[in-house]
Structure 1
């Protein structure tokens, strides 16, 4: 295969995916001829089209522009979420085009420059977006590929130069083993993606394999994880740790203790101890890279988060509606901790859309325990994504396992009335499926927008 710099045409199958769209935009800005297919129009595909990238939504070969006819000068990028027998994928494969998974292409970009990679079953997107912002705001020539829409940059690509690359190192499909990072971070190793890994031990071993890709002194690891490196924690004995943590005017204020000294009175506005940990990890990586300390202090204070990570959709005196991507029991527990810390006197309604039949099956009891800590819970049907149903795995079964008294199954067309009529001031809507679209509809209806 030609070097990436010599390939003019890049075609994306699944271009609307959050990781794929960042790559598409990157290549478009690099002057490549970029286009692609996605199953459904979305805000992401609309933004790509607004930037000049052609996107079509029917799986028909005639939708592929003629400029992508050259096998020698066209690279086709796809994600593992695309069915193997999807029409366009079959066409390109059988026609002998160069095909690469998204993670391989991301590795090809990152591995030719100085790279910082953030891995973990939770926290990747927030940590990498904090890190990308810290580097960009402190003057580094950085490109950061983010798995979410950053509020500071209104997109999933930060581009302030090309000498340094920040990437999310995704454990799904063992994709992160494609990378060769100079500095890396591991935020967590909780069991997940057990449709990919044999068991939790297999997942941990693979994370350890990823960790070995960087020198020990260039690894930043959550305190207590089975991987050697700089330990990261909050108010504990760790190499990089937040101390004197307090909440002032709705934001965390803390001191960062690290081997090089102490940074005092840092300000960070994202709620939740898990997000504070992500900030400490990102600060450690930025310091290791060599970012100026005084600029990091300013940059952290100006960080404003990632869309669907404890995002306020409505914030009024009598109602607060919070949107979060949480789709694993640990993440749900983190949202619960955040909302209790921010609103200790208020009761909370949680609306959750389980994501994947396999994940619901693997963590049925853990989901039930995490959700039962809220005051009331409403469950949507399981969002299947790439999966077929599994017999006996339903939202009704999950509901029966939950121990709280106020619980129900709800349909999408009932969401607005539920939120409007609830006696809870705080409502959180969580999940990785299309609940992220549904909450925007609820917000518009409650705010009287057409």
Structure 2
């Protein structure tokens, strides 16, 4: 079907998954246009690459070729039902598909590796993509974050192997039929789709059943006992771990000068004293997953070590933007209590006895309400807290949510805390004079708009440095 399509129109093109797909079709020489409500650094980059984007719901901005049989409309499930362009296209155009359906069509008859999991799939997928690409394997990768090595969420040098993130939102990953799957973790999230954890677990079980021959292997993190109980009779499982001595595992962790070293065990032997490019036990799990799959694909150990050493990480995943005169600034995408816990723990391991100012933007009313108490416990690990207004993303506020940032703040048991909107954060930082050593911006919404202002202020206040 896709071979006959020359024109693509994306609704919600600024989303991280949508933009990688848009880049793919643009890379294939197709005409790509799109709509998004927000102008962001990502949409700016798409435009610089030659993709046309409009930011108004005005239907007159939609190109006339949408009526052509050679055109496909691709939408994200996160697009609001009341979006005027979406209403118009549903009424007037027949050739419309969800992003996940299109990704399935692209990878259907190809050798495909799919990385799923509540936490860690973007880091795992990005690192594995980097290893395979660096080894000369002809791959096409769709990432859920911007790789610092390639400055993109789309990597391609051929089509021998497709590497994708298996997104559980809206059950999107059930459209995929990979040859190799990896499940990095399972934690309740997307509570609007999975109100109970058993529903989420069953979705992952169904995803595992989509894995096909040849290979038909599932790499599974042994630490996740919920998944283990569901899968323990499955013959096609390959386990990896940072705790249990399973098929693949990492141990003997040593931290020297904020750098993590570990040993990696394979079914054939031990890789001694590997240097991790990114800190944290959660990232060591992700690295172990990527190394396990790379070893399973028979990539040379010493080449993998070299590629790992050259891995720069992913934007907004423990991104250190400033480090001078005992002041540090880290930006991170964490938007779930589990992710905030491991983020703060990692910062404290790397920079002990430092006072931390956290700026957190909750993402989605439904998630904030469901994890209200868990968020409060996570944020209590900070010394100072600026809590931003909830970023609604695809949601509209409903009375039954009964949640806002003031309600959440009351549950956070620390003394130095306040609520702010995004626009006032810099004023508060400058005027309140928090006695911080470290600033962390935390969240998945538009909090990334604070990165450059905070960097600029820190350089002016405490000295410039190209970190």
| TM-score interval, normalised by the smaller of the two chains | over 0.9
The match for 2:242 is 234
Where in structure 2 are there 5+ consecutive unaligned residues? 462-467
Gapped runs of 5+ residues in structure 1?
Answer: none
**How does 1:262-411 map onto structure 2 within 5 Å?**
262-391=270-399, 392-411=402-421
Structure 1, residues 169-212: CA drift from partner, whole Å, max 9, x if none?
Answer: 00000000010111111111111111112411100111111122
Q: Deviations over 1:276-322 (max 9, x none)?
A: 11010011122223322221111111111110001112211231111
Q: Check whether the contact 2:223–2:241 (CA below 8 A) recurs between aligned residues.
A: no
TM-score (normalizing by structure 2) = 0.92
2:223 aligned with 1:218, yes or no? no
Deviation at 1:249, TM superposition (A): 4.2
Aligned residue for 1:161, secondary structure, equals coil
* Alpha-carbon distance, 1:84 to partner: 2.5
1:204 — aligned with what? 201
Q: Secondary structure at the match of 2:255?
A: strand
1:447 is aligned to 2:459:
yes
Q: Which moved more, 1:210-219 or 1:331-340?
A: 210-219
Matches within 5 A, 1:174-193: 174-193=171-190
Q: C-alpha displacement at 1:441, in angstroms?
A: 2.5
Pairing 1:412–2:409 present? no
**1:162 matched residue in structure 2:** 159
Q: Structure 1 residue 432: deviation in Å?
A: 0.8
Query: Secondary structure, in 3 states, of the residue corresponding to 1:447?
Result: helix
Give the 3-state SS of the residue equivalent to 2:246 in structure 1: coil
In structure 2, how many angstroms separate the alpha carbons of the residues matched to 1:25 and 1:267?
33
- Residue equivalent to 1:120: 117
* 2:3 pairs with one of 2, 5, 20: 5
Q: Does 1:143 align with 2:140?
A: yes
Distance 1:37 1:65 in 2: 11
Alignment correspondent of 2:256 = 248
Match of 1:109 in 2: 106
Structure 1 range deviating more: 333-342 or 434-443: 434-443
Q: 1:10-64: CA deviations, max 9, x gaps? A: 1111111111111111101111111111112111111111111111112122212
Aligned-pair distance for 1:273?
A: 0.9
Give the TM-score, by structure 1 length: 0.95
TM-aligned CA deviation for residue 217 of structure 1: 6.8
**What secondary structure sits across from 1:121 in the alignment?**
coil
